[in-house]
Amino acid sequence: MFSLLSSPRARQILASVTVGLLLSAMMATWGYPAAALPQWESEDSVIHLTTDQESWFATVTLMMCIPGSLIGASIYEWLGPRKTMLALAPTLGLFFMTMAVASWEIVREAGMAETVLLTSRVIQSIIVALLNPFVSVYTYEICDQSIRGMMTSFVEIWATIGYLLSYLAGCFLSWDLIALLLPIVLLVPAFTGLLISPESPLWLARINRENEATEILERIRSTGKEVMADLEAVRSTQSGKASTCSASLSIFTKRSHLKAIIASSLIFTVNQLGGFAIIAIYVVHIFNDSGVGLSPSWSSVVIGVFRLVFSVIASFLLRGQSRRRMLFAGNTLAAFASALMGTFFYLQSLGQDVSWLSWLPLFGLALYMVGYAGAVGPTTWTAGVEVLPGPVRSAGFGIATTCYSITAFTLSKFFLDMKDTIGLHGVFWFFSCGSLVYNIIVFFYIPETYGKSMKEVAAYWENTRTQETDKNATV
């Protein structure tokens, strides 16, 4: 059925859209607390979570990604991405929908509603954590070089759609109905698309199934030259052994691979010092604290729309723009926006009348999203994959996203404590400094990957000193 598609490019795009819908479902689970927690905090709510339980409900997915991303990366190399996604996608949908069971009267009368919610949330989080490395790496490996960067950057667009659907649903629907509808809307078409999508040909080549890899590449590449280039990129970095989990781990001792993994890990880890995970999870809470402007729920929808629009713009810009330049520009704008937000909350903390600045919280977070979604977010996901050579791409990406998860979880879990200690103004000033630190890391350590083939990226890490033109690329 897959072969009926009209062109190789269409086949690549279909596979990318399929995993994109899966990612939207994953991120809808991340965004779900923004819709559900305000409803549970209302006086007439039938759900009664403690403050600590609410905090765990909001951040447990990030916590599970700490070990889960590493395990998921190993599964990627052991079983392959397609069959694993086919198995985990319906399981994610089942335990997303299971949360609605907590609204049943018989469950509430038994005092089990909160247990059902938290248990379902933990299982969802485990599945999302295992899937986390799959989406970017599979998209990168399924696409040819001309659209690889752009389609990988679409990860941010699909993530935004998942968050936005959760925010928007929270304005109209009850929490239990959201839990039932979102998996149907997102995971049914994702699962259907996976049924007709191919296995990653580069993964097949890494485990010495080159005939199958070649057959798939011939269907999804426009020319024989592209087929041979991708196969050669795998051959040039393979040791001759099948790319099993243990083989992947053993080649981490190679200095060039370690440099690349450190670079990818820095791209993802320092990204979170700018506060994006906290803003995505606690956006309604932040607008509640501002006490001005639109209703908190609708304000979060506006921010979600800004994120989506500028993620789309950034993804198309990435097709022809320096990764370093995009990161530098986006971080600078995000730092300025965070400083504005910090100033607003500082004036508020002094007891001053900020009604004349009622526009600033919405404007400041919208401007933040222009910088983050319009440059930093999509470029982070793209460059974080592009810097990794083939032999350590999946496992290295798992390590990078684990570092990302540790940082994001720590900041998100203790956000309320940070707010109590240094004030919301201090938190946003911290984000501003974090964005500037990201620029410093990009300038001194991250190479330019735009326009570079997989073979050229691997060669850069093999002999970094001879690649000074990459390090000195204009930002």
Q: 161: buried, middle or exposed (CB in 10 Å: 19+, 13-18, 0-12)?
A: buried
Average pLDDT of the residues of the chain: 82
Lowest-confidence region among 51-55, 104-108, 316-320, 323-327: 316-320
Q: Which of residues 125 and 452 earns the better pLDDT score? A: 125
Q: Which of residues 341 and 244 earns the better pLDDT score? A: 341
297 confidence band (pLDDT: 50, 70, 90): low
Mean pLDDT is highest, among 181-190, 215-224, 261-270, 448-457, for 181-190
Residue 420: per-residue pLDDT: 86
Q: For 233-265, what is each residue's pLDDT tens digit?
A: 666 655 444 444 455 455 556 777 888 888 888
334 confidence band (pLDDT: 50, 70, 90): very high
Residue 240: per-residue pLDDT: 45
The structure's pTM equals 0.71
CATH number of 2-471: 1.20.1250.20
Is 50 exceeded by the pLDDT of residue 466?
Answer: no
- Please give the average per-residue pLDDT across 179-193, as a whole number: 93
Q: For 377-436, what is each residue's pLDDT tens digit?
A: 888 888 888 888 877 777 787 788 888 888 888 888 788 788 888 998 999 999 999 999
282 confidence band (pLDDT: 50, 70, 90): confident
Is 70 exceeded by the pLDDT of residue 365?
Answer: yes
Task: Compute the distance between CA of residue 193 and CA of residue 214 in angstroms, rounded to an integer.
Answer: 22
Q: Which of residues 92 and 148 earns the better pLDDT score? A: 92
Residue 280: per-residue pLDDT: 76
Task: Compute the distance between CA of residue 449 and CA of residue 438 in angstroms, rounded to an integer.
Answer: 17
Residue 426: per-residue pLDDT: 93
209 confidence band (pLDDT: 50, 70, 90): confident
Residue 233: per-residue pLDDT: 67
User: Domains of the chain: which residue ranges?
Assistant: 2-471
475 confidence band (pLDDT: 50, 70, 90): very low
Residue 437: per-residue pLDDT: 93
Is 80 exceeded by the pLDDT of residue 24?
Answer: yes
